[in-house]
Every structure is written in structure tokens, then in C-alpha cells.
């Protein structure tokens, strides 16, 4: 697949729009080419005339005429839904859009579904969603039920504390007087329970509830993947800050139905041959955090 | 069975907390419910009024909102005793209203002549209740009362959303560990079925023990 620059992409888009409007049958007009996206200033183009033989997921997408993507909506700058404007933004969301574009579907043909962590595997197994992009850590146990493309991002468990709090600088400072909050049953809170049994924990369904509790002073730290915390630190720069180094390794992958190797190879190819698209997506969403992160190599197991 | 035995530590904590919420919340509900139920049939207008307002206010509020008031509202006013204690109070105060109504229904099954006879021999209202009315009322309310407690047992799962690790939160924990969420839920359901069977057994025993010739 050719990757043209945005400028040419735009001109191709104009031409393609004319061509597409001219042929009502929807037959391919520029095989193997790309067109621009509906959204302004994105680093990817929408592929046209995509063929993925032997991918049940892609067949389902084609029959439906739209892509259904599972995402998160409570993680600023990763997977976030602004309820006032109804706009979805974030690194994971853009990765999801990029994959949809590579399959030939633009913003208007995407249906986002917010799926809670505990329901992700089931949603993929049932075929409720075509793929899932939302801070989804690759684990061997999960691979028994589903498959992962990627990883497209590597992070680790971090800590978020109040800006004026200097007593907690890393996980070593956690003790019986520091209450830690995270999402109910999430891996980070299980880590704390297991490795720091004396540390009191609180668990809520949403990270936002934890961050609120932190700002109110009800808890002393919020723990989860550092990428999510960076997003919150960017949202409330005056109230909270991320401290310490990540003390675990989480590799985010794209969850897809088990056994759809064609789709998995397609997404892995996209990540490998994407050129600068990954960097641009990172810059768009997490650039303000000042973190310098490189795209990880994909793992074709 | 791997779902259970690979994570036995978690299941043990979850089951323990579920039972703790049930017994502690149930204890509060039983004591408070008996008091409020007695208030609603008492001759004192203020007590009757208070009982009526309390029952109607709490019983008309969804349990989740009661939990919100306790888990997030209470700590704003007073130092928090911890989410488990707050959950116990939320369950106890909510379920007490149902207990009170069951008690009131039970009192109404006792013929009014019983109370009149008790008053005629000079017993106080308290004595009439504790010696004559309630012992007879309790017998007829065993089945509806047990239904209230079975509902309480299942209501404990609401606490999962309010930072208490119990059977309702096991699914989130185990799905994060890569187990199939549906199978986990199936096991949670099995545990609840067993617990409810035990309660039904207790109910039958009580009914037999307190049976009277009518």
C-alpha cells in the first residue's frame, strides 16, 4: 500500500470524491489507492478497494458497511469521550481510526462502543465489536480467548499524586498511611494488594472517580498504567502530577477475534509500514506530556 | 474448577466479605426493623409519624443511591470509618425498612382482642408488644422475613461498586487475570444459589420449630 503525503492525499481526495460521486454503484475507482479522511489534519489516508481474503472479521465489516470498534471513554488523551461535544479523542482512538482507514472506512463509517475492561474478551468472542483499542494489555492468559495485534505502545504501572505532595516520589514511599486508588479489580490494584499488603486500597469503576478522590484528598495516590495517568496530569496540570518510573511493563495491543490471522497480520503490517504515522498520532495526543516514547516492535507470535 | 482453585485466595476474601455484609447488615436490619415496625403500630403519634416517614423515604430510594449517600456523602460530613463499614450501614438501614413492613404485617395478623386482653390485665405497651403480640407475630412472618433476607444477600453485590471486595467484584478481578468472565459469573451464581438454599433450610427449620395450632 502506497503512503502519499497529506498534500497529495488531499488532491487525491478531491479527485476521488468526484469519481465516487460519479459512480453510484460504489465500484472501486482507484484500485489500491488512498483518499483523504473526513477529519482535518490527520496523518493517515483512507485506503480504497481493500481486500482481506479469509478474514471473518473483515467479511462481517463489509456486510455491515461499517466498523464497530470497542474503546474506552474515561481516559483523557488515550480514549476519551467529551460528553458536551460528543467528540472522541485520544491516542487509542486515533490508532483505532488509523486501522479503520487502512480497511477503507472513514469516520462516518465507524461506530465506537465503550466496553468496560471486564467485558472486553466477551465482546470480541461474541463479535459485538470488530476489534478493541483501549489500553488493552497483552497477556498469555488473554491469548487463550482472543488474539492481539501489536503491541503499539509500551507503558507500565505508575503513580499519580497531588501536585503539592512531596512525600510520595515512587512506589517505595507507599505505606500504611497512603491510600491508593484504582479501577475495580484492575491489574495495578491487584499488584498493590499483593506486593504492598499493608497499603490501604480503594477501588471504583472509573478512573475519573479515583482522580476526583485524589484531588479531594480522600486518597493519596492513584495507580494505573502511566500512559493513563499522563493523560490525567495533562487534564489537571495544576492539581496532580505523575511521579516515579513505571514499575511494571504493560504492552498495549489491539484485541481481535481469536484465529483471525489475516486481520492480525494486516494490522501488524500497518504498524510496521506506517512510517511516521505512529509518531504523528503520538504527537497529536500525548505530545504535550513531554514524554519521549518510541514505537515498539510488533510481536508476530 | 480451575477458575476457583487457581484464585482461591480471592474467592475466600470475596466470600468472607459477602457474608460479613450479610450478617452485619442483616443484624442492623433486624434490630432496627423491629424497632421501627413497633413504632409504626404504637399508640404514640410522633413515633408512628417517624416510622412512616423513615420507611417511605428509604424504601422509595434505589439501593445504589443509598450507597452513594453513605460511601460518598457521609465522608464529607464526618470522618469515614471505611467503605466496608459504610456498606454495612447502607445495607442495614435500607433493609430495615422492609423488615419493619414485614413486622407490621405480622402484628396485623394477631387478633386485636389479644392486645385488648393484655391491656386489660394492666400490661404496658412495651409488655404487650414483647410478651403477647410479637411472639405471635414472628411466627407468621418467617417466610416473608426470609425473603427479605434473601434479597439482602443478593443486594450485597451492589457494594462491589463502592470499593468493597466481595462476590460482585470477583468478575472484574478474574477477567483482568484472563479468566472467562461468563464462567466466573456462573460460579458466582452457583455460590449464591447454595447460600440461598442454606437460608431456605433455616426458614423451614424455624417454621417447624415455631409452628402453633391455630
Q: Say if residues B46 and B85 touch (Cβ distance below 8 Å).
A: no
Q: What is the pLDDT of residue B78?
A: 84
Determine the pLDDT at residue A51.
87
Distance from CA of A223 to the nearest CA of B (A): 15
- Interchain pair A139, B178: CB under 8 A: yes
Whether the predicted model's global pTM rises above the 0.85 cut? no
User: Residue A99: its pLDDT value, please?
Assistant: 95
- In the predicted model, is pLDDT for residue A21 greater than 90? no
Q: Give the pLDDT of residue B213.
A: 53
B174 vs A contacts (CB less than 8 Å): 185
- Over the stretch A159-197, which tens digit does the pLDDT of each residue have? 999 999 999 998 899 999 999 999 888 889 999 988 999
The whole-angstrom separation of Cα B140 and Cα B102 is: 10
DSSP 8-state secondary structure symbol assigned to residue A296: P
The whole-angstrom distance between B148's CA and the closest CA on chain A is 28
Tens-digit pLDDT profile for residues A24-48? 333 333 444 566 665 667 788 888 8
Q: List all residues 6 or more positions away from B133 whose beta carbon is below 8 Å from its beta carbon.
A: B107, B110, B114, B115, B118
Q: How far apart are CA A109 and CA A122, in angstroms?
A: 23
- Is residue A9 over pLDDT 90? no
Q: What is the rounded average pLDDT for all residues in chain A? A: 85
Residue pLDDT, tens place only, A244-277: 888 899 999 999 999 999 999 999 999 999 888 9
Q: Phi and psi (nearest 5°) for A279?
A: -60, -40
User: pLDDT category, A7, cuts 50, 70, 90?
Assistant: very low
Q: Which residue has the cell 452457583?
A: B190
pLDDT (0 to 100) of residue A206: 82
Nearest CB to B178: which of A142, A186, A204? A142
Question: Positive or negative, the Cα torsion across B72, B75, B77, B81?
Answer: positive
pLDDT in tens, A94-149: 999 999 999 999 999 999 999 988 889 999 999 999 999 999 999 998 999 999 99
Q: What's the whole-number mean pLDDT along residues B96-119?
A: 92
Rounded average pLDDT over B37-44 = 88
Assigned C-alpha cell, A36: 483523504
Give contacts of A 179-238 with B, CB under 8 A.
183-187, 190, 202-205, 218
Band of residue B187 on the pLDDT scale cut at 50, 70, 90: very high
C-alpha grid cell, residue B95: 433493609
As a whole-number percent, the residues of chain B with pLDDT over 70 amount to 99
Amino acid at each position: 500500500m502506497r503512503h502519499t503525503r497529506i498534500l497529495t492525499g488531499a488532491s487525491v481526495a478531491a479527485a476521488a470524491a468526484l469519481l465516487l460521486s460519479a459512480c453510484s454503484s460504489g465500484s472501486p475507482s482507484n484500485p489500491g489507492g488512498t483518499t483523504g479522511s473526513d477529519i482535518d489534519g490527520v496523518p493517515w489516508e483512507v485506503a480504497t478497494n481493500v481486500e482481506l481474503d479469509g478474514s471473518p472479521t473483515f467479511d462481517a465489516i463489509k456486510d455491515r458497511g461499517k466498523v464497530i470498534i470497542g474503546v474506552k471513554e474515561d481516559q483523557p488523551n488515550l480514549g476519551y469521550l467529551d460528553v458536551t461535544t460528543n467528540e472522541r479523542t485520544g491516542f487509542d482512538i486515533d490508532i483505532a481510526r488509523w486501522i479503520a482507514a487502512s480497511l477503507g472506512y472513514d469516520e462516518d463509517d465507524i461506530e465506537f462502543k465503550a466496553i468496560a475492561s471486564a467485558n472486553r474478551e466477551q465482546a470480541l468472542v461474541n463479535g459485538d465489536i470488530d476489534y478493541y483499542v483501549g489500553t488493552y494489555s497483552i497477556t498469555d492468559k488473554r491469548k487463550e480467548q482472543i488474539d492481539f495485534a501489536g503491541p503499539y505502545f509500551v507503558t507500565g504501572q505508575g503513580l499519580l499524586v497531588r501536585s503539592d505532595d512531596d512525600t510520595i516520589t515512587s512506589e517505595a514511599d507507599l505505606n500504611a498511611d497512603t491510600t491508593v486508588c484504582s479501577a475495580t479489580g484492575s491489574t495495578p490494584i491487584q499488584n498493590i494488594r499483593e506486593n504492598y499488603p499493608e497499603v490501604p486500597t480503594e477501588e471504583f469503576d472509573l478512573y475519573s472517580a479515583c482522580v476526583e478522590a485524589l484531588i479531594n484528598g480522600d486518597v493519596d495516590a492513584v495507580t494505573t498504567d502511566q500512559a493513563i495517568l499522563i493523560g490525567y496530569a495533562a487534564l489537571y496540570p495544576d492539581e496532580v502530577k505523575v511521579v516515579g518510573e513505571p514499575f511494571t511493563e504493560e504492552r498495549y495491543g489491539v484485541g481481535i477475534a481469536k484465529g483471525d490471522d489475516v486481520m492480525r497480520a494486516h494490522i501488524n503490517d500497518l504498524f510496521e509500514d506506517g512510517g511516521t504515522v505512529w509518531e504523528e498520532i503520538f504527537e497529536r495526543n500525548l505530545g504535550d506530556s513531554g514524554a519521549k516514547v518510541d514505537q515498539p516492535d510488533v510481536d508476530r507470535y | 474448577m480451575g477458575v476457583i482453585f487457581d484464585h482461591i485466595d480471592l474467592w475466600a476474601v470475596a466470600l468472607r466479605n459477602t457474608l460479613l455484609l450479610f450478617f452485619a447488615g442483616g443484624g442492623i436490619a433486624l434490630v432496627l426493623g423491629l424497632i421501627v415496625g413497633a413504632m409504626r403500630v404504637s399508640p404514640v403519634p410522633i413515633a408512628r409519624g417517624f416510622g412512616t416517614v423513615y420507611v417511605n423515604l428509604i424504601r422509595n430510594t434505589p439501593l445504589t443511591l443509598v450507597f452513594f449517600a453513605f460511601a460518598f456523602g457521609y465522608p464529607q460530613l464526618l470522618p469515614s470509618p471505611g467503605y466496608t463499614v459504610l456498606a454495612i450501614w447502607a445495607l442495614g438501614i435500607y433493609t430495615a425498612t422492609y423488615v419493619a413492613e414485614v413486622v407490621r404485617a405480622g402484628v396485623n395478623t394477631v387478633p386485636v382482642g389479644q392486645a385488648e386482653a393484655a391491656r386489660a390485665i394492666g400490661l404496658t405497651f412495651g409488655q404487650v408488644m414483647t410478651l403477647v403480640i410479637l411472639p405471635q407475630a414472628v411466627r407468621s412472618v418467617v417466610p416473608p422475613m426470609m425473603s427479605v433476607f434473601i434479597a439482602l444477600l443478593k443486594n450485597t453485590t451492589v457494594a462491589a461498586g463502592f470499593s468493597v471486595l466481595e462476590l460482585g467484584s470477583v468478575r472484574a478481578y478474574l477477567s483482568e487475570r484472563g479468566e472467562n468472565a461468563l464462567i466466573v459469573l456462573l460460579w458466582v451464581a452457583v455460590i449464591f444459589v447454595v447460600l440461598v438454599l442454606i437460608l431456605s433450610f433455616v426458614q423451614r427449620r424455624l417454621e417447624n420449630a415455631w409452628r402453633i395450632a391455630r
